Structure 1
Amino acid sequence: MISLSLIRKSDLWYSFTRSRSAMVAAIVLAMLILTAIFAPLIAPQNPYDPAQLDMWKSELPPIWDQLGEWPYVLGTDTQGRDMLSAILYGTRISVVIGIASVALSLLVGLSLGLVAGYFGGVVDNLLMRFGDVLLSIPTILIAILVSTVVRQMLPPELRDVGSSAVLVLAITLSGWVQYARTVRAQTIVERSKEYVQAARLLRVPARRIMVRHILPNTLTPIMVAATLNFGMAILTEATLSFLGIGMPPGQPSLGTLIRIGNQFLFSGLWWIVLFPVLQLCLLVVSVNLLGDWLRDALNPKLR
């Protein structure tokens, strides 16, 4: 295992401690994720449990308003759902979908990028031309198409249960191309180097050469892309849920909460939409700030 002393002596840690924006973003992101993970222990109620919703407590303003009530710190929505609880649980859904979609996109993109760059020829042309077709279509349109088609293929009783899996699949289909193109370019450079040629002469299997030798040398730009795409995946999920083809109202993500609150924006219930929007902004901005810092820290030309 890597000791803490080695981490503190690394260039990456030195760059992190010298960047105030990165440190603030890391603290904010850690707080958002930890509060989402421990939502059952922090939240006043479970917003997924209809038995805990009280219609008599609906449309309560935040606690600092004279009409606010404890423990509804951020008020309630039209169903008596505590907004703080809904935001914490919704953040957990958005973060899980973002992590799962980025991880699956990484798996697909790394695999196809290594194969295309190492073997070249017809395999490379087929994979990259398919990727070019996907890149020519806006990401959100691909996600909407995949989400709508897959949802219609599922039985009605499974559509709400499988909403998160459908969203992950939709985001992955439009997100793997960037990783594949980056890894392919790096693989083409690495495959002509002497250590790869020596491994070929020793009849090392191609799969081992790609995984053990080439892949580690392609991970630096991939780490930066994955960090930035994590924020984009959260935004894509929020957009799909806002359009009504993402998470159902019974399992609200941040996008679902914003869609519900938007219906009451001009009726004076501003807190129903404002607080989920602020949570989404904090989450995405903190991820993007970390991604920008990581891109600069791993760029040898800026050292």
Structure 2
Amino acid sequence: MTTDVSKPATTQRPTMRQRIRNSDVWWSFTHSKSAMVAAVILAVLVLAAVFAPLIAPQNPYDAAQLDMWKAELPPIWEQGSEWPYLLGTDTQGRDMLSTILYGTRISVVIGLASVALSLVIGLTAGLCAGFFGGYIDNILMRLGDITLSIPTILIAILVSTVVRQLLPSELREIGASAVLVLAIASSSWVQYARTVRAQTIVERSKEYVQAARLLKVPSRRILAYHILPNTLTPVLVAATLNFGMAILTEATLSFLGIGMPPGQPSLGTLIRIGNQFLFSGSWWIVLFPVIQLCLLVVVVNVLGDWLRDVLNPKLR
């Protein structure tokens, strides 16, 4: 005689894809036309920049591919243009479409790296200041107050100039991007630090943190595994908005001549070069990089505003 023993029904855990599709963020994204359009445009701009070597008709960094006889050719729809220079050429014979794609890649990489570095500095400072308090909190916050009392662009100019002078002359052009990342991050970490500090002060008084302290859990583990995850929501929103600001800061420094060198042009460098020929009739040298920069910053800010509204509990 056999007995039929039925197995208890097991509940299958939803996959990551299912959790994302069932989340409020995904619902809000699919019901926001502005966010979807901005995301598509940003994806196209970033992917075009990443795959610039495959898309661009020319490598603007390779002097062997440049032809001075093709300098200042107008866009393809203007008289006197030549194929394949769709957006014309600059004063060195570089294809404008190629320089914009390569310049966008440099601007995006510098923007992402500077935001990542400022996040690391700001998160570390904010967690330490809020958790330990006392003289650590006073020192870090007073340093932040001093930083905020100076305009962001002046701090970036000061850091960039000082670091460039400290570097050997043969390394200044090679390390230009690293200098820009350091200069931008040194002026933007305070916002993250203050946000995380305020959240940490609230979290450290809760019962789960007190229980962890009673169990002799190391402070670094409490900060990394318990407090930090509860402070990331406002930080992610600030990081998204500051990404566009970092790109603008890089463009400003490059426009002033203390950013990326002409041999490795970012969008700011292209605008600075094109601005010199604006009134000579070669309007396309400055116009197209300006359009690319404005479009990139606008779509990032639109996504940042949408993310801020979605993650704001007061608006739910």
Other-structure match for 1:190: 203
Residue 251 (structure 1) aligned with residue 264 (structure 2): yes
Other-structure match for 2:72: 59
Whole-angstrom distance in 2 between the partners of 1:222 and 1:112: 13
Other-structure match for 1:109: 122
Q: Which ranges of structure 1 fall in alignment gaps of 5 or more residues?
A: none
Other-structure match for 1:264: 277
Task: Determine which of 142, 146, 171 is the counterpart of 1:158.
Answer: 171
Whole-angstrom distance in 2 between the partners of 1:178 and 1:4: 32
User: 2:129 is aligned with what amino acid?
Assistant: A
Whole-angstrom distance in 2 between the partners of 1:3 and 1:214: 24
Matches within 5 A, 1:208-219: 208-219=221-232
Task: Determine which of 214, 217, 221 is the counterpart of 1:204.
Answer: 217
Matches within 5 A, 1:234-249: 234-249=247-262
Residue 119 (structure 1) aligned with residue 132 (structure 2): yes
Q: Which ranges of structure 2 fall in alignment gaps of 5 or more residues?
A: 1-13
Partner SS for 1:278: helix
Other-structure match for 1:282: 295
User: 1:275 is aligned with what amino acid?
Assistant: F
Instruction: Give how far 1:46 is off.
Output: 0.4
Quote the RMSD (CA, aligned, Å): 0.8
Instruction: Give how far 1:115 is off.
Output: 0.4
Whole-angstrom distance in 2 between the partners of 1:7 and 1:65: 48
Other-structure match for 1:144: 157
Partner SS for 1:68: coil
Other-structure match for 2:81: 68
User: 1:191 is aligned with what amino acid?
Assistant: R
User: 2:201 is aligned with what amino acid?
Assistant: I
Residue 232 (structure 1) aligned with residue 249 (structure 2): no
Other-structure match for 1:172: 185
Residue 22 (structure 1) aligned with residue 28 (structure 2): no
TM-score (norm 2): 0.95
**Per-residue Cα deviation, 1:142-171 (whole angstroms, up to 9, x for no partner):** 000000111011111111000000000000
**Per-residue Cα deviation, 1:88-117 (whole angstroms, up to 9, x for no partner):** 000000000000000010011101110000
- The alignment-based identity, stated in percent, is 81
Whole-angstrom distance in 2 between the partners of 1:169 and 1:107: 12
Whole-angstrom distance in 1 between the partners of 2:269 and 2:238: 26
Whole-angstrom distance in 2 between the partners of 1:72 and 1:240: 28
TM-score (norm 1): 0.99
User: 1:244 is aligned with what amino acid?
Assistant: G
Runs of 4+ residues deviating >3 angstroms: none
Whole-angstrom distance in 1 between the partners of 2:117 and 2:100: 25
